[in-house]
Amino acid sequence: MSSALNRLQGKLGYSFRDPELLLLALTHRSFAGRNNERLEFLGDAILNFIAGEALFQRFPQAREGQLSRLRARLVKGETLAILARGFELGEYLRLGSGELKSGGFRRESILADALEALIGAIYLDAGMQAARERVLAWLNSEINDLTLVDTNKDPKTRLQEFLQSRGGELPHYDVVDIQGEPHCRTFFVQCSIALLNEKTNGQGASRRIAEQVAAAAALTALGLENERVENGHD
């Protein structure tokens, strides 16, 4: 196996017994007839099961609808693409010339699909427990940031709606620092709104999470105590 693929395995935290499975997971349909679409199908099913199981255990009092909404947020393409970018997965994808020219290695859908294909490949390579360990490790920060408090609307949405209802300007988010290695970065974000004299801060494993934390802090600073992001039960 090439040194490049060895680096990728280091970022993923998993070494394949069958290198061909890894290559197949990285092969887009534009590159070859034998590609990662079947692995993506399998990985999607496995991801949904693992995420559902984790949420079932984490929120024992949650209702079915709440669990479904949380799982949808956890496994959506945006979340998967952020993880894939953290692994610099685009650099290892095998794409056809057309996709390469159009920047397919940066496209959210292609990155998310490839990550699902990797989950399917890990399952075939070593079984469900290995797949579960990797998925839970990758999604640990996202799972820890989930809450049953208003699962329909995240803090950024609630803050925006609160400001709009009062005719205020929309919040502004700035990334002020990024720390850590590519596979385990921490993003530091500041949120600025006209109603507060001071900026609020947030940090997380992705820019999106850090922005949500900063928005939740702004809601609290505005006196909306029950808008706080908390990990708890109904």
- Residue among 25, 49, 23 at smallest CA distance from 36: 25
53 tagged catalytic: no
Find the catalytic residue in 40, 113, 116, 211. 116
Distance CA 86, CA 141 (A): 13
Q: Which residue has the tokens 């947030």?
A: 202
- Residue among 38, 29, 41, 139 at smallest CA distance from 93: 29
**Pairing status of strand 200-204 against strand 172-179:** unpaired
Distance CA 161, CA 62 (A): 26
List C-alpha distances in Å: 155 to 90, 134, 152, 211: 30, 28, 10, 9
Distance CA 223, CA 234 (A): 22
Sign of CA dihedral 47, 183, 117, 30: positive
List C-alpha distances in Å: 197 to 105, 167, 191: 41, 17, 11
116 tagged catalytic: yes
Distance CA 26, CA 95 (A): 9
Find the catalytic residue in 40, 44, 145, 154. 44
Distance CA 23, CA 46 (A): 19
**Residues carrying an active site annotation:** 44, 116
